[in-house]
Structure 1
Amino acid sequence: MSAASDGPAGHDGEATMADVAQRAGVSVSTVSRTLRGLSSVSPKTRGRVEKAARELSFAVSRSASSLVTGKTRRVAVLTPHLDSWFLGAALSGVSAVLREADLDLLVYSVPDLAERTAFFDRLPARRNADALLVVSFDLTTEERARLDELGMPVIFVSQHAPGRPSVYIDDAEGARRGMRHLLNLGHRRIAFLQSSDDTGFSWSSQARLTGYRQALEEAGLPYDEELVHYPVVRRRRGIGEAVGHLLSLRHPPTAVFAESDEVAIEVISVLRAARIDVPGRMSVLGFDDHQLAEWLDLTTVAQPVVDIGRAAAELARSIIEDPDADPARHRVFPTRVIPRGSTAPAAAPTEGARREAGAARPHDI
């Protein structure tokens, strides 16, 4: 039986708040307080109102609720694109928390500089959400100033924004951990592949190159620009060319540290196509702990991506509920190295490589 035929209803046949109030025997304001979850309603009254709402198939619209509360019950996410494992995993964590809190998720994807510019010109999130999560990419000073004009909390995810709420890992420290693993296996010629693309975005994971350099310095090893490359991650040929360059060096590396598991997986594919044994001749280390990493036996520096998404959503929810709380609160997640079958002790160096590396004396790692 429809709500319209079972009692009074709105002109369009759908139940109204007044219908719910009449059926429950309470005032319209009591229905409003109940459906907004306010604690001023007794459990007995709340039960009657919720039962009446179910019987009439009544649901509170977000727009109507926002007029009363000033809240949209939505959290927006700003992300460069949606076709990477990391972003998908982070968003799954975000959405799980928002569902539990009865909050909606609104996603803005800006895959190129033109759409990014348009977003900051128009600020479509204004009045459409109660908080904004900025995931993974760096903002300019001007862009941060524009977001301040939104009049809503802005939480930075997978990056540390000083003075602003942030949820992130220490990318440099994670890279140092990965490098120490390779150094402890006896590797001294270690390449680093820092992914790039043609969108012009600056990624927060760039700090991993800093950790790579710091680990070399700790070990007393020189930084060699020939061992660092920036392949375009969206083109398989770019990674193939980077690996080809490394293999053509007079003294090629014995290990490759890839900035992400997605790059590391492609590196292994290229090496095996070239009949280069992994890890016998070349060890490969990734970063992230992608869902395929365990299946492909990839050694990696793991970060809890889903947990980072959950923590970001929880932080957004807490700031929405208590806007006067510390605006600079943040949460840092640890990283850990997971050894698998893609890394092994370094093969004995050739005589030429030993002479070339003679200036770099052994250090305890």
Structure 2
Amino acid sequence: MTKIQKVADLAGVSTATVSRALAGKPSVSPATRSRVEAAARELDYVVSASASSLASGKTRNVGVVVPFIDSWFYVSVLKGIQRSLADAGYDLTLYHLDPHAGDGQPRPDNPRRRRLFDEFLRRGRVDALIAVSLELDRAELESLTAINKPVVGIGGPLPGIQTLSLDDHEVAKLAVEHLLALGHRSIAHIAGDQDFEIDFHLPAHRREGWEDALSGVGLTADPSLLRTADFTIAGGYDATLQLLGDPRISPTAVFAASDEMAIGAMLAARDLGRSVPGDLSVIGIDGHELSDFFGLTTVDQFPEVQGRHAVEILLHQLDGDRPEPGNEDLPYELVVRKSTGPPPAAAVSAS
């Protein structure tokens, strides 16, 4: 008797049900899956990945493409993806397309990017692909269509592909409107620098949200209140030192395009003897794991949930459910903590 048959007999199911249960198929009920997994553990049965691949033509492996692997946000998205794929019995192959790699080539001519679409994805090593913050051009979209593999994008709408995207303009606008509601009128912005104006132009959309929120109350965004940084704590720190050290301006609040830059702003204010929020209110975007520790007010974009939801959509596609491609807006939520408050009384009276 084969070992899979022994597992089936012990669990009281068919060998086909054993295969589906251990493959993480959603057609198997939780109770049945639990019995099969218990029987497999008792009999020390492990599915052979190579045999399963040969029999089904599937690798049970999903490719994930990311632009950065040293950023908290992208690591959090990856965490959500990996955990959900593992729960469903899939492996993950990571493709890192660093837009700041030293080859000096623009996106269409980037050799690493070309190889990904021309070679790697055509080798059949993955069953599907999740593209995180990757704006695909027409040739890349056609390449994916040609290999007929399910694809889910996170970060912005893509023609012909199911995508999840955050409305960066509205997220930024919400953050600034929170400061305006507290009475602030001199609101500085620490934006992503030009090097991050890559796929989907996140810094520009968040900067426009800052401008439009101010315009909504009859204010004009002052260019002298704009600084740029690299989405890191150190970058936010340096930008805020320059901002607060300029004697020509006196912002009462800082809106940073990421939580890490916002944390840097809080540390810079402290080192300059400014209290937060007594002298300076600070707000960011992300929902960073350190935001609660620092008491940072933020707009949480739930990055781990983004990864899990992308896998949920992808698994449906792998099971043959291919709905008409479209874009789904991702959720976000204002989380108010102690880094924001009313502006100083002197600033209010001066205005």
TM-score relative to the length of structure 1:
0.77
Equivalent pair of 1:138/1:204 in contact (CA under 8 Å) = no
Alignment partners' CA distance in 2, 1:25 and 1:306:
36
**Distance in 1 (alpha carbons) for counterparts of 2:284 and 2:330:** 18
Contact 1:20 1:49 in 2 (8 A): no
Q: What SS does the corresponding residue of 2:273 show, helix, strand or coil?
A: coil
SS at match of 2:229: coil
For the 8 Å contact 2:63–2:129, the answer to whether it is kept is yes
The 5 A counterparts of 1:292-331 are 292-328=290-326, 330-331=327-328
In the alignment, which of 148, 160, 166 is matched to residue 163 of structure 2? 166
Q: 1:60 aligns with which of 47, 71, 88?
A: 47
Counterpart residue identity of residue 118, structure 1: R
Unaligned runs of 5+ in 1: 1-17, 355-365
Contact 2:60–2:126 (8 Å) recurs in 1: yes
1:346 and 2:337 are equivalent in the alignment:
no
For 2:171 and 2:281, the matched residues in 1 are separated by 18
Q: Which amino acid aligns with 1:229?
A: R
Moved over 6 A (4+): 21-26, 47-50
Cα pair 2:65 2:130 within 8 Å, conserved = yes
Change (3 A) 1:147 1:227: farther
**1:100 counterpart (82, 87, 96):** 87
The CA deviation at 1:185 is 1.1
Name the SS of the counterpart of 2:308 in structure 1.
Answer: helix
Q: Would the alpha carbon gap of residues 140 and 267 (structure 1) be closer, same or farther in structure 2, given more than 3 Å must change?
A: farther
Q: Using structure 2 for the length normalisation, give the TM-score.
A: 0.80
Q: Does 1:35 align with 2:19?
A: yes
**Which structure's residues are more often helix, by fraction?**
2
Picking from 115, 123, 135, the partner of 1:121 is 115
Match 2:3 to one of 16, 20, 33: 20
Would you say the 8 A contact 1:90–1:309 is kept in 2? Answer: yes
Task: Say if 1:249 and 1:202 are closer, same or farther in 2 by CA, change over 3 A.
Answer: farther
Alignment of 1:287 with 2:266, yes or no, is no
1:70 aligns to what?
57
Which amino acid in 2 is paired with 1:100?
Answer: D
Q: Report if the CA contact (8 A) 1:227-1:246 is conserved.
A: no
Give the fraction of aligned pairs with identical amino acids, expressed as a percent: 32
Contact persistence 2:232–2:260 (CA under 8 A): no
The aligned amino acid for 1:167 is L
Match of 1:13 in 2: none
Report the alpha carbon displacement of residue 85 of structure 1 after superposing the two structures with TM.
1.5
CA RMSD of aligned residues (A): 3.5
The one of 117, 132, 138 aligned to 1:135: 132
Is 2:189 aligned against 1:192?
yes
Query: Aligned-pair distance for 1:294?
Result: 0.7
Measured at CA, do residues 31 and 339 of structure 1 come closer, stay the same or move farther in structure 2, by a change above 3 Å? closer
Q: Deviations over 1:70-113 (max 9, x none)?
A: 22111111011222211122122112221221121221122244
Q: CA deviation at 1:338?
A: 1.4
Does the residue aligned with 1:120 lie in a helix, a strand or coil? helix
SS in 1 for 2:80: helix
Which segments of 5 or more consecutive residues in structure 2 lack a partner in the other structure?
Answer: none
Q: 1:346 corresponds to which letter in structure 2?
A: P
The 10-residue stretch of structure 1 (125-134 or 232-241) with the greater mean CA deviation from structure 2: 232-241
Deviates more, 1:64-73 or 1:230-239: 230-239
Question: Secondary structure of the residue that 1:180 maps to in structure 2?
Answer: helix
Distance in 1 between residues matched to 2:139 and 2:240, nearest whole Å: 35
Take 2:210 and 2:153, find their aligned partners in 1: how far apart are those partners?
24
Moved more, 292-301 or 108-117: 108-117
Cα 1:352/1:182, change in 2 over 3 Å? closer
* Larger Rg computed on CA atoms: 1
- Choose which of 232, 235, 240 in structure 1 pairs with 2:230: 232
- 1:332 matches 2:336: no
- Tell me the residue number matched to 1:211: 209
The answer to whether the 8 A contact 1:232-1:239 is kept is: no
Q: Structure 1 residues 146, 120: closer, same or farther in 2, change over 3 A?
A: farther
